Amino acid sequence: MLDSWFSDRSRTFSSSGIRKVFDLGAKLANPINLSIGQPDFDMPEEGRRAAIEAINAGKSSYTPTQGTQALIDRLQAEVDAKYNHADRKLFISSGTSGGLLLAYLAFLNPGDEVILFDPFFVMYEALAKMLGAVPVCIDSYPDFNLDVQKVADSITPKTKMIVLNSPTNPTGHVATREEVKGIAELAAKHNVILISDEIYSGFCDGEFVSPAEYNEETIVMNGFSKSHGMPGWRVGYAHGPSKLIQEMIKFQQYTFVCSPHVAQLAALGALDADMTPQFDFYRKKRDMLIEGLADLYDLGNPKGAFYMFPKVPWGTGTTFVEKAITKYEVLVIPGNVFSHRDECFRLSYAASVETIERGIEALRKLAKDPD
């Protein structure tokens, strides 16, 4: 009977498959956890100290909906220096995920089409369905490169938005300058909103390219969860043309209200920290996995974030992950959580060296154990 109370909206998507893996992992005594999508380092001392000072100073009030001015000013100065756009304003969101929801709420109507690249972060498709929009998924297998011509061919009169994520969750792919420029120019040509999720921009080999360099109407999402080890603090930010940003702030007023006050001040302090050693250490851990697994797995070309998306050597992604968890106690995520295909799995190297070493040993055995 209670099922009859569910909205039609709630029936358009299911619970995240990532959570299901976490639930399975909770039953294991000593799992090899290569599933987690958050840094394994703590927030920097500068952020912790700022948080303590904020608590002691009684900073438990609401901030303005758009965020505390000190943090806005600090981030706005960085954005202005990078882009020098005449009209690019910034506000503080409740995490990058909160920013994505606000953008979808502000700009999408039922029936609008949203172009995504498959594989994709789980929220992109679910949010579109939640609001009655139509996800249009462009297959990027087998190399996860972004085909600009495929994007052009997918644009219709109903296309309202393109969501670009680079470096990418779940593949670790980093879009090239040519790919980013092409997508940015297409969005501008067809008057399509371009959302650039840049939460992993700090975790990038070589050059990171934002489409905002080529399209001044791009809405950029970023935050502190990944770069500063602060996923539970819920501090993100979005920047773009002031008229679009103001519309997102309006929706924040009636949903999240504001990002937590203490968390915003902690993020302001964290900006003083040099996170380069952490980023460098992730590259070393990625290289450990490549060296340990590349002869048995097609690992793709992970150059950013802290993920790779190997193709399973046998079976489907689902059957492979089931055995990984139940027999080898390796927690990874089946690829169909992020994709309309079921032939890969997401492996996170946001883990200790010891865990990665155990994972390599177990995954090598698993690759040779199809029965």
pLDDT at 63: 97
According to CATH, where is 3.90.1150.10 located in the chain? Answer: 2-43+275-367
Nearest to 205 by CA among 288, 301, 309, 298: 301
Residue 55 burial (CB count, 10 A): 14
pLDDT of the residue at 19: 66
Q: Does domain 45-270 have CATH number 1.10.390.10?
A: no
- Residue 11 is predicted with a pLDDT of 80
pTM of the model: 0.94
Q: Where in the chain is the domain with CATH 3.40.640.10?
A: 45-270
As averages over each run of 10 residues, the pLDDT of the chain (371 residues) reads: 81 70 74 92 96 96 97 98 96 97 98 98 95 97 96 98 97 96 98 98 92 98 97 97 98 96 98 96 96 96 95 96 93 96 96 97 96 76
Intra-chain end-to-end CA distance of the chain, in Å: 43
Res 37: pLDDT: 87
DSSP code of residue 9: G
pLDDT at 1: 67
Cβ-proximal residues to 348 (8 Å cutoff; 6+ apart), any chain: 34, 35, 36, 37, 306, 307, 332
What would the two tokens of residue 111 be?
Answer: 């029936």
Q: What is the dihedral of CA 289, 294, 300, 304, to 10 degrees?
A: 30
- Contact between 323 and 363 under an 8 Å Cβ cutoff? The reply is no
> CA-CA distance, 222 to 212, in Å (whole number)?
13
Cβ neighbours for 191, distance < 8 A, ≥ 6 positions apart: none
The correct CATH number of 2-43+275-367 out of 3.40.50.300, 2.40.37.10, 3.90.1150.10, 3.40.50.2300 is 3.90.1150.10
Q: Please report, to the nearest 10 degrees, the dihedral formed by the alpha carbons of residues 272, 277, 279, 284 taken in order.
A: 180
